[in-house]
Amino acid sequence: MNWGNDVTVANIRKDDFYIPTLQVIRDLGGSASIEEIEDKLVERFGFSQAELDRTYEVSGDNIITDKMSWARSYLKFPKYLSNDSKGVWVLTEAGREAADQPVEVVRAAIRAAKKERRAQQLAARSLAAAASESEDEDAQEAEAIDWSDVLLAKMQAMDPYAFERLCQRLLRESGFVRVEVTGRSGDGGIDGQGVLRVKLVSFQVLFQCKRYKGSVGSSVVRDFRGAMQGRADKGLIITTGTFTVEARKEATRDGAPAIDLIDGEALCQLLKEQGLGVSVRLVEEVTVDEAFFDEI
């Protein structure tokens, strides 16, 4: 994509993805997975491989996929998108109408929805006085910290072996049996194995757990596939970070055994669904039980 002389990947705004995200989900039939959304956005913007590989210097997160993720999260504020189902984003009727609006209209709707949500939160906590609303974008972003951000930060701070035990527990709660954490060095990154039973059929699954803040690249997927060759029916990589576009393509490459990828966003939803370290009130107020992760 031609960004112009004074624009770089590093200063792409999440706003740039607001309208395109709504439109690609609409074009995909009103619902789509993260992978489908990101693939279509990459195709639409025409990003080069060099642009797709750019990461933040401090966190190591992939810049483009991070901005795409923030855009999806912000579009939830005015209820343009919902993601109640695991890994599936759904376009609402309001989102369908917003898809053809100028981006300024969408920005205004997001700001208004964020302001209303903050006011409701302050009222619920019975605060005597609320801090004045800042129009500064960074301040607004800081106020919008979601329960999933708290959860990801907690998991990223866990001991690596504790995180492996957490993944083991999650797989058991999700229907796996004979789940073992092996974690042997020099084993191609394989951290454990289990058996997934689907009615009358069972699948031997090898899994890898990556307690990352940044992005998992395609080389990790290739190495993992090589290590599991001939040893299992399926592979599963779980991370607290994200997967690059190339990693997702490598996971479903034609002619190679498919590997399922669970990124930080999907991992949070799975923990929420299983009630592991996350409690949900009827008013959809989600809290993270940080002590749960300390005891893993």
Residue 39 CA to residue 43 CA, distance in Å, equals: 6
pTM, to two decimals: 0.58
String of DSSP letters for 106-173: HHHHHHHHHHHHHHHHHHHTT-SSPPPPP--HHHHHHHT--HHHHHHHHHHTS-HHHHHHHHHHHHHH
* Structural contact between residues 260 and 205, judged by C-beta atoms closer than 8 angstroms: no
Percent of the chain residues past pLDDT 70, beyond the cut: 84
Burial class of residue 293 (count of CB atoms within 10 Å of its CB; 0-12, 13-18, 19+): buried
Indicate if the alpha-carbon torsion angle 53, 57, 60, 63 is positive or negative.
negative
* Structural contact between residues 213 and 55, judged by C-beta atoms closer than 8 angstroms: no
Residue 195 CA to residue 180 CA, distance in Å, equals: 10
Residue labelled with tokens 């669970």: 262
**Considering the domain 154-290 in this protein, what is its CATH number?**
3.40.1350.10
Q: Is the pLDDT of residue 239 over 80?
A: yes
SS3 71: helix
What's the one-letter identity of residue 232? Answer: A
What is the reported pLDDT for 133?
A: 46
Q: Of 215 and 281, which is predicted with more confidence?
A: 215
What is the reported pLDDT for 109?
A: 93
> Which residues, at least 6 apart from 295, have a Cβ–Cβ distance to it below 8 Å?
none
Summarize pLDDT for 57-78 with one digit per residue, the tens. 777 778 898 899 899 999 999 9
Residue 14 CA to residue 202 CA, distance in Å, equals: 42
Burial class of residue 178 (count of CB atoms within 10 Å of its CB; 0-12, 13-18, 19+): exposed
What is the reported pLDDT for 8?
A: 54
What is the reported pLDDT for 208?
A: 93
DSSP state of 96: H
Apex CA 153: angle with CA 108 and CA 189, to 5°?
Answer: 120
pLDDT band for position 16 (50/70/90)? Answer: very high
What's the one-letter identity of residue 146? Answer: D
Q: Is the pLDDT of residue 5 over 50?
A: no
